[in-house]
Amino acid sequence: MTILVPGGAGYIGSHTVKHLLQEGFDVITLDNFSSGKRELITGGKIIKADLMDKEAITEVFKMHDIQAVLHFASLIQVGESYINPQKYFQHNLVTSLNLLEVMLAFNVKNFIFSSSAAVYGIPESTPITEFHPLRPCNPYGKTKFFIETILKDYARAYDLRFISLRYFNAAGADPEGQIGEMHEPETHLIPNILLFLLGRKDSFNLFGTDFPTPDGTAIRDYIHVSDLAVAHVLALKKLLQSPQSEFINLGANKGYSVLEIIRKTEEITGLAVQFIPKPRREGDVPILLASKEKAEQILGWTLQFSDIETIIETAWNWHRKK
Ligand code: UFG
């Protein structure tokens, strides 16, 4: 069975491609390599193409018998989306609309979408369930919300079947050490601490010390990227069996503050983390914590790697050898 993976050369995409290959799927990674990396693709076919280019996508569907699409390709920086919303709406919406249009033209109806906890905005209550109101508070989160809205209408009108996976804080690296996180620029907490410890960043800033949390720093729900990869393959199998569209949170239902992450990283690496306290980043919410009940019930998902020690250890192993 052939699966098309736009954005398969990115962080979460590449870990999912690795798992799809292990599970015996034929995989075609489609990437424009604007941020994806060839070295993260562990097998299958690679096509360099841009989702802005509808003709190029059409050619891919003409040439291959694709049964499902796992769509990871997206701009992902919340901060940048504030400064340049046009770039985010143009890119994230148009690419997804093009992809869906070509899929439907070729009668391909199975779609797994990379959504985000950013669709919820500032949570009213935690843990956040899938019933929580959707009030995205930055352009990045709005792009995910709009695509989810489009998916619902396409499912109703065109018999599209989709599962939208709302990631909380993806972290860690392949436990086998083959692939890991390679963002440029890197904005995420755990890699930024590790890159600072390795001397590849001059300083490490702690953004926000006055949040309404026990230690004043923001709480996040860190989920291991390999557990995310497993969830995608479970979602794909589920969709192929029963055509029920769903929105599903992917988080560990465990919250750690930034200071707690710093302390854990110090324990694991044996190195002291010097940080510079800074004001909050625009758009950062005090707490994000997922309910994972739906993922467990619907997908039969169980976490293997998402304890915080394994997350930091696998990330540390990856960054050290890079
Ligand atoms: N942080 C620092 N210093 C850094 C980097 C981050 O203090 O160098 C802080 C942030 O301010 C935040 C926390 O660490 O309080 C986590 O920040 P990340 O950038 O690692 O993650 P976010 O929660 O901001 O963002 C992630 C995804 C987004 C997604 C969002 C909500 O990267 O794509 O979760 O789901 F939108």
φ, ψ for residue 267, nearest 5 deg: -60, -45
Q: Is 85 helix (H, G, I), strand (E, B) or coil?
A: helix
Is ligand 1 within 6 A of the CB of residue 207? Answer: yes
Of the pLDDT bands very low, low, confident and very high (cuts 50, 70, 90), residue 140 is very high
Q: Do 121 and 213 reside in the same domain of the chain?
A: no
The answer to whether residues 184 and 61 belong to one domain is no
Measured N-to-C along each axis, helices 94-105 and 139-158 cross at an angle, to the nearest 10 degrees, of: 20
Distance, in Å, from the CA atom of 70 to the CA atom of 18, rounded to the nearest integer, reads 13
pTM for this prediction? 0.98
Which DSSP helix (H) or strand (E) runs through 250? strand 246-250
Q: Do 71 and 158 lie in a common domain?
A: yes
pLDDT in tens, 155-175: 999 999 999 999 999 999 999
Examine the domain organization and report whether 133 and 260 are in the same domain. Answer: no
Name the residue at shortest CA distance from atom 33 of ligand 1: 76
Please say which residue of 250, 267, 298 terminates a domain: 250
Does 143 sit in the ligand 1 pocket, CB within 6 Å? no
Cβ-proximal residues to 178 (8 Å cutoff; 6+ apart), any chain: 18, 42
Which residues form the domain of 163?
2-170+223-250
CB atoms within 10 A of CB 83: 11
Task: Judge if 210 and 270 occupy the same domain.
Answer: yes
What is the Cα–Cα distance from 252 to 223, expressed in whole angstroms? 6
Whether residue 205 is found in the same domain as residue 104: no
Tokens of 71: 């769509």
Tell me: the pLDDT tens digits for 178-221?
999 999 999 999 999 999 999 999 999 999 999 999 999 999 99
Q: What is the pLDDT, as a whole number, of residue 247?
A: 98
212 and 306 belong to one structural domain: yes
Asked whether the beta carbons of 88 and 147 are under 8 A apart, the reply is no
Question: What is the DSSP code (8-state) at residue 126?
Answer: S
Query: How many angstroms separate the alpha carbon of residue 118 from the centre of ligand 1?
Result: 11
Indicate whether 236 pLDDT > 90.
yes
Are residues 244 and 265 located together in one domain of the fold? no
Q: Distance between CA 253 and CA 91 in Å, rounded?
A: 31
Is 237 found in the same domain as 186?
no
Q: What is the pLDDT of residue 20?
A: 98
Cβ atoms within 10 Å of 267's Cβ, excluding its own = 10
Whether residue 58 contacts residue 102, with contact meaning beta carbons closer than 8 Å, is answered with: yes
Cα 88 to Cα 85: distance, rounded to the nearest angstrom: 5
CATH code of 151's domain: 3.40.50.720
CATH number for the domain including 204? 3.90.25.10
- Same domain? For 18 and 70 the reply is yes
- What single-letter DSSP state applies at residue 283? T
* Half-sphere exposure for 291 (CA within 13 Å, toward CB): 15
The tens digit of pLDDT for each residue in 126-138 reads 999 999 999 999 9
Are 190 and 109 in the same domain? no
Residue 231 in contact with ligand 1 by CB distance below 6 A: no
What is the domain count for the chain? 2
Q: What is the pLDDT of residue 282?
A: 86
Phi/psi for 233 (5° steps) reads -70, -35
Based on the residue annotation, tell me whether 158 is a catalytic residue of this protein.
no
The CB of 117 under 6 Å from ligand 1? The reply is: yes
Same domain for 130 and 21: yes
- Provide the Cα torsion 89, 94, 99, 104; round to 10°: 110
The two three-digit tokens of residue 275, written as one number: 């940080």
Beta bridge partners of 287: 219
Residues 310 and 175: beta-carbon distance below 8 Å: yes
Query: Which residue lies with its CA nearest to atom 25 of ligand 1?
Result: 169
Burial of 55 (0-12, 13-18, 19+ CB in 10 A): exposed
End position of a domain, from candidates 201, 232, 250: 250
pLDDT digits (tens, 9 = 90+) for 81-113: 999 999 999 999 999 999 999 999 999 999 999
Q: Out of 11, 88, 120, 140, pick the active-site residue.
A: 140
For position 185, what pLDDT does the model report? 93
